[in-house]
């Protein structure tokens, strides 16, 4: 019985030493990369089960080598230290507020067609100028000027 308890304590101490769990964790932070993989292991050859976007909130639970073990909206996993910025001294309530203001998951940008349609609708409604329409347009666009003086997308 004593050997089992001693072995269990030793195993727990080794696990804590390897993963870096200690009194200073959890620490709150954010992702400073784009499309950063969250992996099931600190080894980069293991599969990723999600990606994080820039400014995604993280709860750092430990570290292993050059990765942090983090809790994210995608679950818990390993993220390279290179892509993590720690918020020193941030409280749990401040972290929750940061989470509300910043999305967690990688989301694809809205399709070009939808963005361009929204720009045209704003332009026709008089909410944006011609210059704003042309500067916000994504992709190729050929416009012709109508009889009313407004720009129209050539079909």
- Residues 31-70: tens digit of each pLDDT: 888 888 888 888 888 877 778 888 888 899 998 899 999 9
Q: How far apart are CA 71 and CA 68, in angstroms?
A: 10
Residue 86 has which token pair?
């720690």
Residue 89 has which token pair?
């001294």
Residue 36 has which token pair?
């950063």
- Taking CA atoms, 2 is separated from 9, 14, 16, 22, in Å, by 11, 18, 21, 25
Q: How far apart are CA 73 and CA 104, in angstroms?
A: 6
CA 144 to chain centre: 40
Q: How far apart are CA 132 and CA 124, in angstroms?
A: 12
Give the pLDDT of residue 116. Answer: 76
Give the pLDDT of residue 142. Answer: 74
Q: Which CATH architecture group holds 19-101?
A: Roll (2.30)
The three-class DSSP label of residue 37 is: strand
Segments in the chain below pLDDT 70: 1-23, 74, 103-114, 138-141, 155
Minimal CA–CA distance to 80: which of 44, 55, 46?
44
Q: How far apart are CA 134 and CA 153, in angstroms?
A: 11
Q: 96 CB contacts (<8 Å, ≥6 apart)?
A: none
Domain map of the chain by residue range?
A: 19-101, 112-153
Give the pLDDT of residue 84. Answer: 92
């Amino acid at each position: 019985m004593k050997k089992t308890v001693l072995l269990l304590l030793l195993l727990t101490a080794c696990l804590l030493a390897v993963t870096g769990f200690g009194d200073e964790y959890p620490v709150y932070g954010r992702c400073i990369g784009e499309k950063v993989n969250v992996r099931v292991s600190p080894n980069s050859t293991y599969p990723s089960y999600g990606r994080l976007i820039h400014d995604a909130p993280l709860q750092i639970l430990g570290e292993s080598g050059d990765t942090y073990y983090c809790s994210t909206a995608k679950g818990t996993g390993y993220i390279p230290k290179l892509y993590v910025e720690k918020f020193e001294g941030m409280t749990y309530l401040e972290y929750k507020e940061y989470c509300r203001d910043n999305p967690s998951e990688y989301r694809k940008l809205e399709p070009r067609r939808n963005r361009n349609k929204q720009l045209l609708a704003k332009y026709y409604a008089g909410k944006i100028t011609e210059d704003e329409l042309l500067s916000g347009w994504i992709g190729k666009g050929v416009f012709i000027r109508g009889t009313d003086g407004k720009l129209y997308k050539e079909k």
